[in-house]
Chain A
Amino acid sequence: MSLRKLRIFLWVSVAFVAGLSLALVISDDVRERILHTGGGEGVAAIGGPFELVDHRGETVTHEDFLGQPAVYFFGFTHCPDICPTTLFEITSWIQELGEEVDDLRFAFVTVDPERDGPEVVAQYLQAFDERIVGLTGTPEQVSAMAENWRVYVRKVPLEDGDGGDYTVDHTASVYLMDSDGRFFGTIAFGEADDNALAKLRRLAQEG
């Protein structure tokens, strides 16, 4: 009796695995959902769904960013060097390109949601172009996005910092996403202004 049950269970398992394999082979949709391969279009699988909170405290998802190409930068407000540098650069690119980037959207995503709540992010962004939207959320929401977007995030304690002070190692590039939310390219930290401007123009025209 118990042997018969085991046999049935094993056959059901075999059928399940076989069905799943078949689905993976024949269906792009299933493949994309399970393996995140991006449907074999030759575009790296960077990006994807997210649910976060903007600097006004309202819930936003990736769907709110569809329909227009978008520029994302990941950083944190306790970062003295790279983050303000990049945000000032983005600000100057926006000013330089003027109407050319009217259709682009710009977002600053914090990788330090514990310290960067919506109010902190809102206050921080006052120093930069007003078109840059701030995104934060629960630590789980932010790390889910970081994972999908292949953004490296690592909290590192500062030894002589008082009271558990820490810094956050993180990906330095600016992400360019097309109007379908697909990965379009990056602007590396320290890339020459001319290159950055050319990439943003291309994103505005083709993304």
Chain B
Amino acid sequence: MARACCGSGARDWFAALTGSLMALLIAGTFAAVADSASEEAIAIEEAWARPMPTGRELGAGYVTLRNAGDIADRLVAASTPRAERTELHETTVIDDVMRMRPLDGGIEIEPGGSIEMAPGGLHIMFLGVAEPFSAGERIELRLEFEQAGERTVVLEVRARPNGDSHHGNTHGDADHGHAHGEEGDHAH
């Protein structure tokens, strides 16, 4: 009898423990699924960077970002162990004048949309690079998104981009407020 009594007490404890563990497991699984869902929403492709001329401590890298999710996301920061500072920039060529400006607010990727960084458009600028990138190297780059969190990609270092359509970028004709028609004495 005493056995039955004690045995049932142990069973209760065991059941409670198992139940909690299972609940934890289930919750954890859901959390993991939710996490990976928002992570998977952003695909990172075509990651490459330019070799840097000797003695240059700066350069540019390019990635293509696709947002398969239902909500807009925003690339807010980038970093690499190879550079002291990493900034998001946009180059524009308007009326044959090249201008480069930092994008302090990051780069938005609309749901279902994509951002294609390319020479003459959006790029990631590396500053304070002690060892200039050289062709064939692979550079680790961490990207920080508002929704998808932190992601790591590898940039291939090469002199020219793959393929032919390497100029400009398609960011849904976004509104980065280009200063059109500014004064300037320049050739066409």
Contacts and interface: CB of A to CB of B under 8 A. Distances in A.
B177 interface: no
A158 B102 contact: yes
Interface residues of A, number: 44
A172 interface: yes
Given A80-B125, A186-B187, A124 B55 contact: yes
Given A123-B53, A189-B120, A82 B91 contact: yes
Contacts of A84: 50, 52-53, 59-60
Contacts of B50: 80, 84-85, 88
Most buried by A among B91, B98, B119, B120: B98
A152 interface: yes
A160 B123 contact: no
A81 B120 contact: yes
A81 B93 contact: no
Interface in B6-33: none
Contacts, number: 117
B28 to A, nearest CB: 40
Given A189-B93, A193-B164, A120 B55 contact: yes
Given A170-B98, A189-B98, A80 B187 contact: no
A158 B104 CA distance: 11
A152 B125 contact: no
Most buried by A among B52, B56, B58, B125: B56
Contact of B160 (A46, A88, A147, A159): A88
Interface string B51-76: 11111101110000000000000000
Contacts of A156: 99
Most buried by A among B59, B123, B167, B186: B186
B141 to A, nearest CB: 15
Given A120-B55, A150-B187, A160 B97 contact: no
Contacts of B58: 78, 80
Given A80-B126, A85-B120, A186-B187, A171 B98 contact: yes
A126 B54 contact: yes
Interface string A44-78: 10100000000000000000000000000000011
A116 B99 CA distance: 19
Interface string A150-162: 1110101011100
Nearest to B160: A88
Interface in B66-104: 87, 89, 91, 93, 96-102, 104
B185 A152 contact: yes
A123 B60 contact: no
Interface in B157-180: 159-160, 164, 167-168
B93 to A, nearest CB: 5
Given A77-B56, A81-B123, A127-B52, A190 B93 contact: yes
B3 interface: no
A187 to B, nearest CB: 11
B125 A77 contact: no
A78 B56 CA distance: 8
Contact of A169 (B55, B98, B167, B188): B98
Contacts of B56: 77, 124
8 contacts: A80-B100, A81-B125, A82-B100, A84-B52, A120-B55, A152-B184, A159-B102, A189-B93
